[in-house]
Structure 1
Amino acid sequence: MSITSIENFSNEFFYEIFEYLDGCKIYKAFSNLNHRFQQLLNSSSLLFKIYLTCSTSNEIDINIYKQLLLNNKHQIISLHMWSSLQNSEFFSSFSIDSSFNRLESIVINEISSTILISFLTNLTSLPRLFSLTIDTQSSLRDLNEVYRLIFALPKLKYIKISAEPTIISISLLIATNEQFSTIEYFVINHDCTLNVLCTLISYTPQLCHLNLMNLFENYSNNEIILPIIFSNLTYLSIQVADIRFDELEMFIIETKCNLKLLRLITFSEDRDYFDDDRWEELILNYLIELEEFYLEYHQQIDPESGSLTNFEPPNRFNSLFWIERKSIFEIEMDSFEYIYSIRLYKERWYDVNSSSIELLNSTRLTLTDLPRNEYIMILNLIIRDLLAVTQIYHLEISKKTICSEILIDIIYKLFALDTLKITSLILALSRYSSIEDKKLHFVSNKNNIKKVYLEKMSKIEEIYFLIKLCPRMIHLKVEFINDMDIELFIKNILKKLNHDCNQYLRSLCIHNSTANDKIIQKLEEMINRDKLLHHFTIKYIADNIYLQWK
């Protein structure tokens, strides 16, 4: 395309393209072209997003950065700086002042403490700096001056500050009326005691969104000083809540926050976190606006003991209060780590075409990984302890693969299962032995699994095994491999069902990205031609082929 033909495009066309590009690359590419591009680069309508990245090392690029920062200050909307440019020579070549009147967002990564303090000092003159993200990594331990300068920024709405999770020093005093900040979104991505948290947010009376990496108990005897009322605070997320429940409860009550979302992950041994009566009272009296509640507890199990004696999973959170809020209890097992969670119910794979959702029977166990072979017997003890306090109705095995023998053993223990989801299945070589056949026959007669989902299928024998293992299955979903013959696959499944006189299975869902009207027509003709079904419907929706029959 020639320069003459380029000139026929409107400036708005280029603005839309430039919006997604690095400002420095734009400047380097177009600064030496014709007069029109020179005008375009200097137009106040063109705003630059500048990335000072670690790839910038040669003198030519450095000069372009300097030229852009010095001559186009009024066009820079965001500035993203990385550690490779943390030298005083480069930063001394320009200063942040009020002439950067369009600058709204700054991201600083791994910058040295000396340069960071100097840089923050100059930001108070910016009239539109709304967002600031700082990642100090290991370069800074004392954050007092950093926070003092941050709280002095006149227009700041969002602040995220990250630091190494150890030896962080913060000893600010509680804010006075003259020190209040405009911050509304506060992400504290470093360790923080409850006292330090209260001090920090005392500077942010307009706070509405608070996200904490690690909140832990005060190890001193200092009295907890609670801040002012936070009626605007609607979002609170704590990635690791390592404080007593009493302290968290006091914080919520005393700050008079109006949370709409509360998210907590805890490793604490304080069992009050799973006292549903206390949570119910707290929510009814102090969190009346709460829309979403998420609580997660992590526990490590000693493989030598093989039991859950150190922690008793909750057997409640099933009253009418929690059902009305659509909050459910779930368990995840990752080898010897167990995660118990209370969360808002969200639609699952088996809810498709369901007329109603039974929240009382919604407890799900997810097996992310299983114990090593030498500890596999401990799995039986752990499941026993789980069933002593709660029933499991849904099982998901997201482990890469699971052997059919182990699957049979697990289903044998979980007699109340209604649904089963498996990532991948390996059929055991001994599956034709008389012992295995007897075990499979016993489990098949006992379980009442109605819906099965196999994510990765390698051969059709895996489907035959699941149909035999779950004879009362009414719905089967399969992730189909595109290079397989889908017509032959469905034909073999239906022939198998007819041969076994299966009276339960009435719905088949096959995920196939190549599904189209032509494939659906061929499948319909095949089913009618071979008289495999009499009354059926077949269609495809969002890469899924749905076959249903009476």
Structure 2
Amino acid sequence: MQVQENDIHQNSNWIKKRKLDNVDLFSYLYSKRIYSNKCRFEDLANELFYEIFEYLDLYDIYRGFFNLNQRFQNLIINSNFPNQINISTMSKSKFEYYHKNILLPNKHRIYLIRLSIPFMSELIFSSAYTILRFIHLQTLIIDHIEMKDFIKLSNHLAHLRELHSLIISLADHIQSLNVLFSSIFQLKKLKYCKIEYTIKDNQNSISFDLTRRVFSPIQYLIINGQFSFNSLNNLLSCLPELHHISIQSLMNSNDNIKIDDLSYYIQLRYLKYVSFKINSIDFNKFENIIKQFFDYVEILRLTMNSDEEYLNAKRWQQLIVSHMPYLRIFDMKYQGSIGNKYDVIKQFSSSFWTEKKWFFTHEHDWKSTMDRGVFYSTIPYRRKDYTYYSVSDEQLRSHNQQENFNSVNHLYICSKIKDHCLKYFPNVNQLTFTLFFNDWNDSTVRNLNCMIPLEQLTKIIFEPYRIPLEDIMRLLYFTSNLHTLQFDTFGFHHNNLDIVRQNYAFEYASKRNKIKFLILRGRCSLHELEFIVNLFPQLKYLETGMNRIEIKQIIRFLLSKTHNKTQHLFYLCIVNTPKVCVKEINVMMKSENLLKNYSIKYINYNLYLWW
């Protein structure tokens, strides 16, 4: 018995040290013979199971333990351990069961909720009474919520005293940043906020200009969307406790707000980290923001694509010495035309930069010489993304250290991959072939496999039009853990898809791949979709355009029970389709009895169907 207690204590300490996924957890327990006769599963202490449950979603706890015996039912129902709800993808019927039998009875114990399908938040947060019952909710993550629903929801979230983290992505184009941030700033306990939104393509970046001064306790703010540079002063002045700010797209704008006319600003004593992607903003304007707010900044990460004055090393040196005395990491990335600035960027190798161990290099596409490329900080390379060009500028590398790309998890390919490329990215799990990449050949996949471990990729994005189908299937051969494919300008480059379906490469790829999420930005015909569902039989989510005259026929095919190729599919998005199709599909569903339990929604010219 003493040995058994020691084993349990050792197992408990190990679980505390690391966050486990289901596979790691049960592999570990099995390796320790917890499932063997030496130490029976039922003999483990309740405390150990509580620690295990901390690392599992509530749905997995019920699915894995609830029906084992009465002990586990009592353990789950009567305990007070905190729960997390992490729903990525789930069919409508399964979610409704989950919502009724698992989520609602445990709402008072839930500290984290993550929802990824727009219909889900409407069901969970259906009334103020329900929302206010989540008394221990600390973190809320909602993907694809409509603005009107978020405004309504935020009014009730303000009453949840423990809510300190909010991550949302808005489904529809927003019309006003004032409304968005007013809704967020009313959450008086909020410390972490990450928001993602879009505006209409023909709309200038919208301004943020509250009529009255409001302060928010937010310490970490991440904005993934276009934000007006002229509104930056207003935003920062509302955040006196700000530690960390990141803006994906800081845009020049034509709004009427004038930075010089603003009558107030505050000193951001806690601001240590700034990351901006700057678009079409003069260095003179941005310099004023640095002088005004960045006195205590320690980490500055900037990405620019215009105004070559950002490549002026002497100007940066003066700015850092005078206005950013605490700066210890200066991470700069300039993408675009370098032109005749080569002698200027060489100034970044002066003693001021090397003594601080701030090093830089330049890469470009050999076909366009110095006209298009990237100038960036290196040694160490700290960013999570990397843009690959085939030529590196060794003259800027006066240091002899080897580049380390361990931080990179998203690799962008912009030009032909060199044979025997020396760059290696051990932790990349997302790959994008950009519009500039048009050099598909027999060696592409082979050279790529020398740069990254292809088997650990989970998502690939193709921006170029008409990728050779043979290369896609060849890539699928090496990417056994890939679950998401995205084609920004879709088109299969092959004359006869029926012939392709008969060859061995297609059969092998269809059996081996694990693609569950497929995004096709262009329009697909019924014939192409028949090919697609045969190639990707594990699909759960499909997003694509369709010819109007084929929409009904395609939906009939996808919902047909005469084949099993779409048995896992339960979520469909038809992009750029007229709103009248919602009514037409509803009529078809009822008249032909295709689905009894489904939801349909129309957002931003896209039709969503969930069943």
Which interval holds the TM-score relative to the shorter structure? 0.5 to 0.7
Give 1:257's match in structure 2, choosing from 279, 295, 302.
295
User: What is the match of residue 216 of structure 2?
Assistant: 181
| Superposition deviation, residue 215 in structure 1 | 0.9
Report the CA distance shift for 1:45/1:194 in structure 2 as closer, same or farther (over 3 A). same
Judge conservation of contact 1:52–1:85 (CA < 8 Å) in 2.
no
For structure 1, list consecutive stretches of 5 or more residues without a partner in the other structure.
302-307, 349-365, 371-382, 404-419, 424-454, 458-550
Judge conservation of contact 2:66–2:76 (CA < 8 Å) in 1.
yes
Give 1:78's match in structure 2, choosing from 96, 99, 112.
112
Give 1:11's match in structure 2, choosing from 46, 61, 70.
46
User: What is the match of residue 207 of structure 1?
Assistant: 242
Judge conservation of contact 1:186–1:210 (CA < 8 Å) in 2.
yes
| Superposition deviation, residue 346 in structure 1 | 2.9
Measured against aligned partners, the alpha-carbon deviations of 1:86-132 in whole angstroms (never above 9, x if no partner) come to 47455426745454232111111012223222222111111211111
Measure, in 2, the Cα distance between the counterparts of 1:319 and 1:141.
47
Letter paired with 2:271 = L
Letter paired with 2:107 = K
User: What is the match of residue 144 of structure 1?
Assistant: 178
Moved more, 315-324 or 102-111: 315-324
TM-score by length of 1: 0.59
| Superposition deviation, residue 157 in structure 1 | 0.7
Judge conservation of contact 1:294–1:341 (CA < 8 Å) in 2.
no
Measure, in 2, the Cα distance between the counterparts of 1:148 and 1:107.
19
SS at match of 2:332: strand
Residue 253 (structure 2) pairs with residue 218 (structure 1): yes
Measure, in 2, the Cα distance between the counterparts of 1:148 and 1:262.
28
Measure, in 2, the Cα distance between the counterparts of 1:104 and 1:144.
25
User: What is the match of residue 308 of structure 2?
Assistant: 271
For structure 2, list consecutive stretches of 5 or more residues without a partner in the other structure.
1-34, 404-412, 425-448, 452-611
User: What is the match of residue 368 of structure 1?
Assistant: 389
| Superposition deviation, residue 140 in structure 1 | 3.6
Aligned ranges 1:366-445 → 2 under 5 Å: 368-369=389-390, 400-402=417-419, 421=422
Report the CA distance shift for 1:229/1:174 in structure 2 as closer, same or farther (over 3 A). farther
| Superposition deviation, residue 276 in structure 1 | 1.9
Measured against aligned partners, the alpha-carbon deviations of 1:2-23 in whole angstroms (never above 9, x if no partner) come to 9995432112221232233221
Residue 147 (structure 2) pairs with residue 113 (structure 1): yes
| Superposition deviation, residue 169 in structure 1 | 3.8
Judge conservation of contact 2:132–2:156 (CA < 8 Å) in 1.
no
Report the CA distance shift for 1:267/1:96 in structure 2 as closer, same or farther (over 3 A). farther
Residue 252 (structure 2) pairs with residue 228 (structure 1): no
Measure, in 2, the Cα distance between the counterparts of 1:175 and 1:341.
42
Measured against aligned partners, the alpha-carbon deviations of 1:146-203 in whole angstroms (never above 9, x if no partner) come to 2112111121111010012544544441652xx3111000001111112222222322
Measure, in 2, the Cα distance between the counterparts of 1:133 and 1:333.
36
Judge conservation of contact 2:360–2:375 (CA < 8 Å) in 1.
yes
Report the CA distance shift for 1:116/1:280 in structure 2 as closer, same or farther (over 3 A). same
SS at match of 1:317: helix
Judge conservation of contact 2:359–2:397 (CA < 8 Å) in 1.
no
User: What is the match of residue 327 of structure 1?
Assistant: 358
Measure, in 2, the Cα distance between the counterparts of 1:296 and 1:92.
45
Aligned ranges 1:64-75 → 2 under 5 Å: 64-75=98-109
Report the CA distance shift for 1:216/1:84 in structure 2 as closer, same or farther (over 3 A). closer
Letter paired with 1:401 = K
Residue 185 (structure 2) pairs with residue 154 (structure 1): no
User: What is the match of residue 314 of structure 1?
Assistant: 345
Judge conservation of contact 1:174–1:203 (CA < 8 Å) in 2.
no
SS at match of 2:348: coil
Measure, in 2, the Cα distance between the counterparts of 1:320 and 1:96.
62
| Superposition deviation, residue 74 in structure 1 | 2.4
Letter paired with 2:375 = S
RMSD of equivalent CA atoms: 3.8
Give 2:169's match in structure 1, choosing from 121, 131, 135.
135
Measure, in 1, the Cα distance between the counterparts of 2:269 and 2:245.
13
| Superposition deviation, residue 235 in structure 1 | 0.4
Measure, in 2, the Cα distance between the counterparts of 1:229 and 1:393.
38
Report the CA distance shift for 1:94/1:123 in structure 2 as closer, same or farther (over 3 A). closer
Report the CA distance shift for 1:300/1:86 in structure 2 as closer, same or farther (over 3 A). farther
Measure, in 2, the Cα distance between the counterparts of 1:103 and 1:216.
35
Report the CA distance shift for 1:367/1:251 in structure 2 as closer, same or farther (over 3 A). closer
Measure, in 1, the Cα distance between the counterparts of 2:174 and 2:102.
30
| Superposition deviation, residue 264 in structure 1 | 0.7
Letter paired with 1:334 = D
Report the CA distance shift for 1:456/1:55 in structure 2 as closer, same or farther (over 3 A). closer
Letter paired with 2:246 = N
| Superposition deviation, residue 275 in structure 1 | 1.9
Give 1:288's match in structure 2, choosing from 318, 325, 328.
325
Measure, in 2, the Cα distance between the counterparts of 1:240 and 1:182.
26
Report the CA distance shift for 1:130/1:345 in structure 2 as closer, same or farther (over 3 A). same
Q: Quick one: percent identity of the two aligned structures?
A: 30
Judge conservation of contact 1:263–1:294 (CA < 8 Å) in 2.
yes
Q: Number of matched residues?
A: 369
Measure, in 1, the Cα distance between the counterparts of 2:253 and 2:295.
22
Letter paired with 1:163 = Y
User: What is the match of residue 191 of structure 1?
Assistant: 226
Measure, in 2, the Cα distance between the counterparts of 1:105 and 1:97.
13
Measured against aligned partners, the alpha-carbon deviations of 1:449-476 in whole angstroms (never above 9, x if no partner) come to xxxxxx969xxxxxxxxxxxxxxxxxxx
SS at match of 2:92: coil
| Superposition deviation, residue 49 in structure 1 | 1.3
Measured against aligned partners, the alpha-carbon deviations of 1:238-287 in whole angstroms (never above 9, x if no partner) come to 1234311111111111125311100111111x232122222111111111
Judge conservation of contact 2:243–2:273 (CA < 8 Å) in 1.
yes
Measure, in 2, the Cα distance between the counterparts of 1:214 and 1:95.
38
Judge conservation of contact 1:317–1:329 (CA < 8 Å) in 2.
yes
Residue 261 (structure 2) pairs with residue 244 (structure 1): no
